[in-house]
């Protein structure tokens, strides 16, 4: 059975996170004063679980297929797990086959992007929350219409709020 392009990218992504935690050795690209919500490292550690801290603040990547949000099908809004800002709507979610929750469009103004050169084999575009700067994942140009984009996100960096419930 031949491997699809997405399966190959997912495998490369999975290989990039081994050994786990290697990204913590590299400095974050975030600059102080860059985001509306700024907390100290101690405040972030108190606010987040250890795994959320590794992904959102140290830009780690969760293992493919590990997020419960991968299979979330209800209508609602996905929020940043760091600051509760709504970042993606359920109607833009799709099954990318990569093992990470994927969306084709963010909520206007909810995310920011920057070039990520931490992988030696490719340049990626990192996606972060526009309010707190939390690392959400990456965006690729192989998604479905209408945008042609695939926002490939870490489920641990997101919370899901079902339709009819207000985000915290």
Among candidate residues 80, 83, 129, 152, the one labeled active-site is: 152
| C-alpha distances out from residue 84 to 8, 31, 45, 96, Å | 32, 21, 16, 25
DSSP 70-84: GG--SSEEEEETTT-
Closest CA to 132 of 94, 81, 167, 168: 81
Annotated catalytic residue 80: no
Distance, in Å, from the CA atom of 150 to the CA atom of 10, rounded to the nearest integer, reads 12
SS3 (DSSP) at 102: strand
Do 137 and 152 contact (CB within 8 A), yes or no?
yes
Distance CA 113, CA 125 (A): 6
Residues that are catalytic:
152
């Amino acid at each position: 059975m031949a491997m699809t392009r997405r399966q190959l990218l997912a495998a490369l992504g999975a290989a990039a996170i081994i050994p786990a935690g290697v990204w913590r050795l590299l400095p974050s690209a975030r600059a102080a004063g860059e985001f509306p919500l700024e907390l100290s490292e101690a405040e972030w550690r108190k606010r987040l679980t250890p795994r959320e801290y590794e992904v959102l603040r140290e830009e780690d990547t969760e293992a493919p297929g590990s997020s419960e949000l991968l299979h979330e099908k209800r209508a609602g809004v996905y929020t940043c797990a760091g600051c509760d800002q709504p970042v993606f709507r359920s109607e833009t979610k799709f099954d990318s086959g990569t093992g990470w929750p994927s969306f084709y469009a963010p909520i206007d103004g909810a995310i920011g992007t920057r070039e990520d050169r931490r992988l030696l084999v490719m340049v990626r575009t990192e996606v972060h929350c526009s309010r707190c700067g939390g690392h959400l994942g990456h965006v690729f140009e192989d998604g479905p219409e209408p945008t042609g984009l695939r926002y490939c996100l870490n489920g641990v960096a997101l919370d899901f709020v079902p339709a009819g419930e207000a985000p915290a």
